[in-house]
Amino acid sequence: MPPSLPASINIREPRWDQSTFQGRAKHFFMVTDPRNLLLSGATLEEARRVVEDYRAGTVPPGLTEDQLWRAKYIYDSAFHPDTGEKMLLVGRMSAQVPMNMTITGCMLTFYRTTPAVLFWQWVNQSFNAVVNYTNRSGDAPITPSQLGTAYVSATTGAVVTALGLKSLTKHLPAIIGRYVPFAAVAAANCINIPLMRQRELKLGIPVTDENGNRLGESTAAAQKAIFQVVVSRIGMAAPAMAIPPVIMNMLEKRAFLKRYPYLNAPLQVGLVGLCLVFATPLCCALFPQKSSMAVSSLEPDVQDQIRKKDPWLETVYFNKGL
């Protein structure tokens, strides 16, 4: 019989070194894999059982290290890292590529009329609101009124931004108009993410020591986490919304698309999808998910709270969200 798997593998952390961009990229290629959406509920629950049993010190007979890591990544793709709850299907990071390629492709295709801009910006920000809520940091609940206020504010801000930018580009070259959706998405991310995670900015997110022991809640950590997520999301959208317009602008001048105009949207969606397959994990990898900051950078009262528990601690860690 093969030797039993040791119970000392740290599956609370990713398989690859998260201090390097390459290690983080490998990790997020697994987390954002769209094939995870096709896994059955039974497969997800089996992965949860394997992970929770192993963390508790129980090693199922015959379990290999590859099987353990596969279970860990299935678990991570579907369950929230702080609450342990199963996440909404469309809010999971594995849904980013199929959902965003469809929505972004349509935004880039139907950008000429005001009703189309309104509709697709609303769809995009509604989807973003679900993603931001699903991948929030921390385990504190959000009330329905807080969620509703954040959603309305974020989607209104995004739509107003898109319409304002569209009106400014009326007399500019057509290629400039194609970039209105990207500018609106970038601006909307700066509105949507902080609003959907406003509770973290008011009350803070959990900060821990290196071993995961909770030390308190910090608004300074929340600010850093949300800033990193905004940068990642804008970077994620940039290739998908910057490259296809250039290609489509050239193709629309050729006879092929003039003869088959109905291929415009499928081509646009396909180009966006190709960009997102790589941009999504690579931009998620810009910052470690288990982010860190110096104790001296936290709020004074949080510093005092931590000093009472561990006077020599210099660095705290937190889940930045995605």
- Flag whether 53 is in a domain: yes
Domains contained in the chain, number: 2
Query: Over the stretch 108-124, which tens digit does the pLDDT of each residue have?
Result: 777 677 788 788 878 88
Q: Which DSSP category does 86 fall into?
A: B
- Flag whether 81 is in a domain: yes
User: N- to C-terminal Cα distance for the chain?
Assistant: 42
| Listed residues 67, 86, 105: the one ending a domain | 86
The domain in which residue 315 lies consists of 93-319
d(CA 33, CA 194): 26
Max intra-chain CA distance, the chain: 75
* Three-state helix/strand/coil letters over 95-122: HHHHHHHHHHHHHHHCCCCHHHHHHHHH
Phi, psi at 206, each rounded to 5°? -65, 135
Of all residues in the chain, what percent are helix, strand and coil, respectively (each to 5)?
65, 5, 25
pTM for the model? 0.73
Clarify whether residues 48 and 132 are in a common domain.
no
> Would you give per-residue pLDDT tens digits along the chain (322 residues)?
455 677 678 878 888 888 889 999 998 888 888 888 888 888 999 888 888 888 877 787 778 888 888 988 888 888 887 777 888 888 888 888 888 888 877 877 776 777 887 888 788 878 877 877 777 665 556 677 777 777 787 777 777 777 777 677 666 666 666 666 777 777 777 877 787 777 788 888 888 888 778 888 888 988 899 999 889 888 887 887 778 777 777 777 777 667 777 777 788 788 888 888 888 888 888 888 888 888 888 888 888 888 888 888 888 888 887 7
- Flag whether 102 is in a domain: yes
- Flag whether 311 is in a domain: yes
